[in-house]
Amino acid sequence: MKEITTKRKKETMTKKKKQITTCDYHDVDRENKPLVYMFHNVRHNLHLFINAGNAEEAYEQFDRCEFLNRDEWKIFLEAGSQPA
């Protein structure tokens, strides 16, 4: 009697290479260009845009407006590289 052998290909799972993403904010010149801060009044749906060098400067400009009910306002910062 003949011995029957089968050669099976060894099944292995291929590893997926993880794509490493880095945040490149080279298009933003943070030293010389002011950043845009948006103050949003959630009650009245108002938007106030302020150009400021840093967050502290933006807060000072917002305080000069003397708005009532500060808890109605949210603060947003424009990022240099927007996702597509």
Beta strand pairing call for 35-41 and 46-52: antiparallel
Average pLDDT over residues 3-29: 59
Q: Is the pTM of this model over 0.75?
A: no
Residue 48 and residue 66 in contact, taking contact as beta carbons nearer than 8 Å = no
Residue 11 and residue 45 in contact, taking contact as beta carbons nearer than 8 Å = no
pLDDT tens digits, one per residue of 18-57? 666 555 555 555 566 788 999 999 999 999 999 998 889 9
pLDDT of residue 29: 54
Residue (of 35, 82, 81, 28) closest to 58 by Cα position: 35
Q: Considering the chain, what is the average pLDDT of its residues?
A: 77
